[in-house]
A and B are shown apart, each in its own frame.
Chain A
Amino acid sequence: MPTLTLPGDLNSLEPLTDLVLEQAELAGLDTRATYQLRLAVDEIATNIILHGYQEQALQGEIVVTAEVNDQALVVTLEDTAPPYNPLKRDINRVKEDFEKPLHERSIGGLGVYFAIHAVSEFHYEWRNGRNRNIFVVHRTSPTATEGSTAHSAHA
């Protein structure tokens, strides 16, 4: 099970993506499922770095693990930033923006929307002083479509 420990810095997005792409290929995901997983993981990692660490003037790491089993590819991001459950974000307010022309939009919340809607399952846990964001992409089904993603949170 590959594990990568990266500094909580935006320069870590590239090696993080490289790991996700490598594991998606190993799992045999199609182009769209691979792209959507990459998007989801990238968005949550970005939020951890910018909001969890940098805005709090904290330094920390992101520990990435990836596991391919018979059913799915599971990618987990762990960080030591203050607890933040993306599932508590009001996604309906984000979606309201989608009906507006670009110049009238606010610019927040998109990343969480992608994380939740781009993979088969998204789970959040707070465990042993760490945020754990867990992305699951089923290997046998097509990419999750909007509204079909399963998600859960455990604190």
Chain B
Amino acid sequence: MSFTVASSFNSGVAHLTLAGRLDANTAGQFKAEIEKIAEERPTVVALFVQDLEYMASAGIRMLVFTKQKLGAQTDIYVIGAQPQIVHTLEMTGVDKSVIFADSFELAATN
């Protein structure tokens, strides 16, 4: 399985659904999608990653890019991350800058 990303936008919230392998070869697709949603100036980005099986450092660089592109005040939710991806984000302290949740609806109302 390679990589797919799809996005939608609703009331200031950008929804991105990622699946497959996010590595140096596929990160460009993610970056292009971030640049697309940046035009809508979202205040919240929800990443649905239930079907994302792998994230390399290129994926982490894309999270850095997202924050730098959209601004520090933009909240990034990571929804349904597999344990190994959570571990990768914890190894690099990224967990302190994103919000993990099993469900975006529940997390966003808390």
Contact = CB atoms under 8 A, between A and B. Distances in A.
Interface of A: 10-11, 13-14, 17, 31-32, 35-36, 38-39, 42-43, 46, 49-50, 97-103, 105, 107, 110-111, 113-114, 117, 146
Contacts of A103: 64, 67-68, 71-72
A46 B71 contact: no
Interface stretch (B7-15, B34-42, B53-61, B102-110): B53-61
Interface string B57-100: 11011011111100110001000000110011001111011100
Contacts of B94: 102
Contacts of A14: 2, 21, 25
Contact of B57 (A11, A13, A102, A111): A111
Interface of B: 2, 21, 23-25, 54, 56-58, 60-61, 63-68, 71-72, 76, 83-84, 87-88, 91-94, 96-98
Decide if the interface of chain A is mainly helix, strand, loop or mixed.
Answer: helix
B23 A42 contact: yes
A39 B88 contact: yes
Nearest to A98: B93
B57 to A, nearest CB: 4
A113 B94 CA distance: 14
Contacts of A98: 92-93
